[in-house]
A and B are shown apart, each in its own frame.
Chain A
Amino acid sequence: MTPEEEAEFKRRQRSRNLVVGGILLFLAILFYVITIARM
């Protein structure tokens, strides 16, 4: 892998990790509010 490719690899990995983190956070909040709504 060239340095440019490695930089691109890391950029993609970082952006994917951010999106996955955001989704997990969203799901945690969603399950919390579903629990309250169903009580």
Chain B
Amino acid sequence: MAPDSMAQTVPTQLPAEWRDFFALTKPRVMSLVIFTGLCGLLAAPGSIHPVLGFTAILCIALGAGGAAALNQWWEADIDAGMKRTAARPLPAGRMNRTDARDFGILISAASVMIMGLGVNWLAAAILALSIFYYAVIYTIWLKPRTPQNIVIGGGAGAFPPLIGWVAVTGDITLMPVLLFLIIFMWTPPHFWALALFVKTDYANVGIPMMPVVRGETSTRRQILAYSVLLVPIAAAPWFIGGTAYVYGIASLALTLAFLALSLPVAFRQTGENDTMKPEKRLFAFSIIYLFALFAALVVDRVLANQGWI
């Protein structure tokens, strides 16, 4: 669905407000990106100058913002058809599409250049790959074509801790790859829990989300499958000796709680006017889960560095 072939949104006479450009970067999603990127940076062995650490996180945030702007440029008409996204600057007609596209390209390119010149080029290359992955592979290619879109697309959100880690170490080892895999495995149950209670929205705009294409039962079983897989993967940094027991215990407790919340979602049948409480609970907990897991990783590293564990 190329933008040129779609009906234009309401033309705007006035220049867009700077707040609308800021909204294009999906600031709420960015907070999780910044947090996981920061945790990757703090958990990495070695040290980084605070200014360079700040620059790395700024670039991760800018890159995520640029990818989000490109996503909204491409999906403006889809967003217009969904209640959850209809108030965004493009579908609401507060901004021209080309402005959103140019803004997305500008801050994406700036984030990669600053990361490369200021921090290191491997981190910059992974950042560039993550932007391409989200804006092109996920948004343009997979999302409108396959119900597995979110599984493969989950990789895009999994890059920040890897980039944060590489910003410090300058190379890729097993630990940052495991951090990548944790978010990769976490994304499907997180997103499908949401998709279950906003299913009608996705169906209306023709996005082949799992609940729409394969049905609720299959989606619920797959939520459980990914939640089960998450247990060993989240604990793997401890098993390979990359962290101490503080992270190990926290990861087991959190992931088992995640699994416990996914069980009622997995074996439920919904009726008319269902309030979808278990799905909403799992979605809300999944966000807390990721924050808590990565916070535990950093606490573990700090305690180990102090020689307390």
Residues of A within 8 A of B (CB): 1, 5, 8-9, 12-13, 15-16, 19, 30-31, 33-34, 36-38
Please give, as numbers and ranges, the residues of chain A lying within 8 Å of B118 by CB-CB distance: 30-31, 34, 38
Please give, as numbers and ranges, the residues of chain A lying within 8 Å of B13 by CB-CB distance: 1, 5
Tell me if A34 and B15 are in contact (CB < 8 A). Answer: no
Please give, as numbers and ranges, the residues of chain B lying within 8 Å of A1 by CB-CB distance: 13
Which 10 residue pairs across A and B have the least CB separation, nearest first?
Answer: A37-B51, A19-B18, A37-B49, A34-B118, A33-B51, A12-B15, A16-B18, A9-B14, A37-B52, A12-B17
Please give, as numbers and ranges, the residues of chain A lying within 8 Å of B16 by CB-CB distance: 12
Q: Does B9 contact A (CB under 8 A)?
A: no
1/0 per residue B18-44: CB within 8 Å of A? Answer: 100000000000000000000000000
* A5 to B12 alpha-carbon distance, docked (Å): 12
Min CB gap B52→A, angstroms: 6
Q: B interface, by DSSP: helix, strand, loop or mixed?
A: helix
Identity of the chain B residue whose Cβ is nearest the Cβ of A22 in the assembled complex: B18
Please give, as numbers and ranges, the residues of chain A lying within 8 Å of B52 by CB-CB distance: 34, 37-38
Residues of B within 8 A of A (CB): 13-18, 49, 51-52, 55, 58, 114, 117-118
* A13 to B306 alpha-carbon distance, docked (Å): 52
Tell me if B15 and A16 are in contact (CB < 8 A). Answer: yes
How many A-B pairs have beta carbons closer than 8 Å: the answer is: 35
Given contacts A5-B13, A12-B14, A15-B17, list 13 more A-B pairs with CB under 8 A: A1-B13, A5-B14, A9-B15, A12-B17, A13-B15, A16-B15, A16-B17, A16-B18, A19-B18, A30-B118, A36-B51, A37-B49, A37-B52
* A19 to B20 alpha-carbon distance, docked (Å): 12
Partner of A15 from B18, B58, B117 at Cβ < 8 Å = B18
* A8 to B52 alpha-carbon distance, docked (Å): 40
Contacts A33-B51, A34-B55, A37-B49 given; does A8 touch B18 at CB 8 Å: no
Identity of the chain A residue whose Cβ is nearest the Cβ of B17 in the assembled complex: A12
Identity of the chain A residue whose Cβ is nearest the Cβ of B110 in the assembled complex: A27
* A8 to B12 alpha-carbon distance, docked (Å): 13
Min CB gap A11→B, angstroms: 9
Please give, as numbers and ranges, the residues of chain A lying within 8 Å of B117 by CB-CB distance: 34
* A16 to B14 alpha-carbon distance, docked (Å): 12
* A15 to B52 alpha-carbon distance, docked (Å): 30
Please give, as numbers and ranges, the residues of chain B lying within 8 Å of A13 by CB-CB distance: 15
Min CB gap A39→B, angstroms: 10
* A20 to B58 alpha-carbon distance, docked (Å): 17
A–B complex contacts, Cβ < 8 Å, 11 sampled: A12-B15, A12-B17, A15-B18, A16-B17, A19-B18, A30-B114, A30-B118, A34-B51, A36-B51, A37-B49, A38-B118
